[in-house]
Structure 1
Amino acid sequence: MTEVVLEKKMRNMLVVLLFLGWAVGNLDRYLMNYAIVYIGDDLSLTNTETGMVLSSFFLGYALMQMPGGILADRFGAKRILLFAVIIWSIFTGLTAVAWTLGIMLVIRFLFGIGEGGFQPAASKIITTYYPENERSKVMSIMLSSSSIMSMLVPIISAVLLVTIGWRAIFVIAAIIGVIIVVLYWKVVPSDKVAQETDEAPRVKEIVGKLVKMPFMWSLVVSYFTIYAVNWGLNSWIPTYLSNVRNLDLLSIGGWQVIPGVIMLIAMFLSGYFIDKLDLKVSKVIGAVFALLLAVFLLLMFNATSIGLFITYQCIVMFLMTFVILLLPSFILKKIPAEYAGTAMGMANTGGQLAGFVTPTLIGMMVDAFDGSYNAAVWMLVIISIICVISILSITQRKQNVGGTA
């Protein structure tokens, strides 16, 4: 599928649909971070087992990144988007009926498999239908739905978890997913139209070339490190604030709105400036921000008051958001549209493996150190420093894949 820039009205409609789809996917992810407080009580989970539940989604999600990208490049983005939303809606609903740890782990793993194809397919849509100077902005709009969910879910959770319970919430999320499926089916351009003049990419050749690129491995490591910090914080901050800072769920929900707003602002600003700046300049900014991230993580967890904790968390979210948006920009602007899905899948595999490893590892550390989060914090600090090095190693030249400039 070569680049086919659509008329502005259709491009605007597509970005709205990508925004809504990513919002629903993140609704479930963030809900689990708050629902796990109640799920842990219902299923009598230890901190390590809680981490396993939070991580199981990411194992399935990570394993599906490369296949999702390959399938999007081979069969078209629309089919993979539909597959992703249908599967994740099914297993979001099934989360409501899990009654043992083992069943919960299987359901969350399969939910991750379903959602894993979404971002590679969405990236292919962006590189195919949008001009290069709009792609980071479009990605920022799509990813901003995650920021909005991080802002809304604490409030939603605080109200609904204590009224209708965690099982009913997941049923509602599944129903919303079904609505998204219908919208995608009706509006997203047909894969057949997009592919009818193109020869399907040679999968083995393209994957072989990508895995030999230092450019791609620098991105994989960068994705892993920044998402290790991102999902380590998102997964455990609600539990940390409850157990260490002694806040109730309503208070946690209220406080977490503030960093959610900052993350949303950072997402829009980052997309705008990354499209305006040369990637060389953005790369240096990203490396500096990753270094500052390590500093403010330490300040945040050593804050003497909850107000100071939230202040530092806002700074952490701002710094982290810029880096999270910078990394896919290298693929959106340096990889040809024909192979963008596979490339995004490969890079994002690193990020989602971090989502699988980090929550469980933090849970094990907290158990090992009798409820102390100090070791986990230092782990995130070290990972942030590794992120600095990996970002600086990313090259900026246009990548030649399969003979395409």
Structure 2
Amino acid sequence: MISKRKRNWILALLFLGWSLGNLDRYIMNFAVLYITQDLHLSASATGMLLSSFFAGYAIMQLPAGWLADRFGPRRVLLAAVVVWSIFTVLTGAAWSLASMLVIRFFFGIGEGGFQPACGKTITLLYPKDAQARAMSIVLSSSGLMSLIIPIASIAMLTTIGWRMMFVIMGVAGAIVAVLYWYFIRTPERNEEDTEISIAASREQGVFRSLLKTPLVWSLFVASYSLYAVNWGLATWLPTYLVKVRGMDLISLGWIQTIPAIAMLLGMLLSGYILDKLPKGTERIVGSICCVCIGILLYLMYSATSVTIFVTYQTIVVLVLSLLLLLLPAIMMKRLPSSVMGTAGGLVNTGGQLAGFITPMAIGFIVDAFNGSFDAAFWMLIGFAVLGMLAILSMNFSKGALLNQTTKESLTA
């Protein structure tokens, strides 16, 4: 049994690690403005560059989740930080589009192990009625980094350059890896789930049941749809605001702190809201939020000024923060902790496939429409609708059936 103090210390380390991961990931969306100039990239090539990370990230989700269930999350967390730090440094040494694509792919492989292992760690450390709040603290690092990155990235890009910037972040990753090796320890099972052993995830019957569970596939489609919106906006908005809306880099850095503050607050508040949300109301809340996002995306791209555009963007980020935390909260409440690593890896694969496909698709769309982003915004609106349908289709009784199947496989 781990003390509350040590449990919260591990949560702080998870927050630190995920902050660094988000820093490495989000800062590329600003660095690409310089990288495209140095490597002479078209919009299509830029989309491929932004997507290459997510190809590796998506591929690693399910194996990482299984490894976290099989060998414990500590080893997976440590390996993830070490590998992504190495390839962060190598990003600064890239000399061509081909080399950058390969490096960013393996960077994604490294970072892809973190989120499933992080979710697994939280389910082992915290009771179910506190897991969403714990996860919201870790995920709020994306909001914090979104607040810091617009200003910090422009400062570093205009002083030390993008190559040295990635080298420094890689060194920071090595320091985090040492902290993980020394401090992170996890129990073998969740305190409120002692009847379901970690060994359950090794049972072939339970794994088959997981793949046959409709709730898991609804979560997969919802994850794909919502992360398509998230990464479509995150990867291309800096380029859009500079090239289409005519913003300069300094103004871009400052104005993007507004939606970043909304993301940070949204992540922190969402965990508390979701832990208090009456069981069974997730579908209603999630589907309404998806409809709101679709409407707001339309208002964004038709906005007549940058101020109005960023206002709608801020509301989108706030609502999207709730949705992106809703999915892992449903998994934690509806699925047994013994298969959380594998289930989380499967669902996260959907989200990261969206991260791979969407930026690349937007690049090709922009080239096809001679620099116009209108069709890209309509594509994101379509994903918001798909997300609504996926959430409405969630069958929570099937999640309970999986839980029962897991227990029966252990007593058989």
Question: Do structure 1's residue 136 and structure 2's residue 123 form an aligned pair?
Answer: no
Would you say the 8 A contact 2:59–2:349 is kept in 1? yes
Give the Cα separation in 2 of the matches to 1:296 and 1:357: 22
* Residues 249-264 of structure 1 mapped to structure 2, 5 A cutoff: 249-264=249-264
Would you say the 8 A contact 1:78–1:191 is kept in 2? no
Q: Identical aligned pairs, as a percentage?
A: 50
Structure 2 counterpart of 1:147: 143
Structure 1 counterpart of 2:316: 316
Would you say the 8 A contact 1:266–1:318 is kept in 2? yes
* CA-to-aligned-CA distance 1:312-369 (integer Å, 9 cap, x gap): 0011101111100000111111111111000000000000000000000000000000
* CA-to-aligned-CA distance 1:55-97 (integer Å, 9 cap, x gap): 0000100000000000000011000000100000000110000
CA separation of 1:399 and 1:85: change in aligned 2, threshold 3 A? farther
Structure 2 counterpart of 1:336: 336
Give the Cα separation in 1 of the matches to 2:401 and 2:244: 47
Give the Cα separation in 1 of the matches to 2:101 and 2:267: 32
Question: Do structure 1's residue 70 and structure 2's residue 66 form an aligned pair?
Answer: yes
Cα root mean square deviation, aligned:
1.7
Give the Cα separation in 2 of the matches to 1:192 and 1:99: 45
Would you say the 8 A contact 2:200–2:339 is kept in 1? no
Q: 1:199: how far off?
A: 3.9
- Segments of structure 2 that go 5 or more residues without pairing to the other structure are none
Give the Cα separation in 2 of the matches to 1:205 and 1:100: 47
Question: Do structure 1's residue 179 and structure 2's residue 175 form an aligned pair?
Answer: yes
Structure 1 counterpart of 2:49: 53
* CA-to-aligned-CA distance 1:162-205 (integer Å, 9 cap, x gap): 1100001101110111111111111111578999x864732543
Would you say the 8 A contact 2:232–2:362 is kept in 1? yes
Q: 1:395: how far off?
A: 2.4
Question: What letter matches 1:100 in structure 2?
Answer: S
Structure 2 counterpart of 1:400: 402
Structure 2 counterpart of 1:368: 368
Would you say the 8 A contact 1:154–1:256 is kept in 2? yes
- Segments of structure 1 that go 5 or more residues without pairing to the other structure are none
CA separation of 1:385 and 1:150: change in aligned 2, threshold 3 A? same
* Residues 295-306 of structure 1 mapped to structure 2, 5 A cutoff: 295-306=295-306
Q: SS state of the match for residue 407, structure 2?
A: coil
Give the Cα separation in 2 of the matches to 1:100 and 1:266: 38
CA separation of 1:241 and 1:204: change in aligned 2, threshold 3 A? same
Would you say the 8 A contact 1:334–1:399 is kept in 2? no
* CA-to-aligned-CA distance 1:119-155 (integer Å, 9 cap, x gap): 1101111111101111000000000001111111010
Q: 1:279: how far off?
A: 3.5
Q: 1:10: how far off?
A: 1.4
Would you say the 8 A contact 2:93–2:163 is kept in 1? yes
Question: What letter matches 2:83 in structure 1?
Answer: I
* Residues 345-360 of structure 1 mapped to structure 2, 5 A cutoff: 345-360=345-360
* Residues 188-203 of structure 1 mapped to structure 2, 5 A cutoff: 188-189=184-185, 199=199, 201-202=201-202
Question: What letter matches 1:94 in structure 2?
Answer: L
Task: Return the TM-score normalized by structure 2.
Answer: 0.94
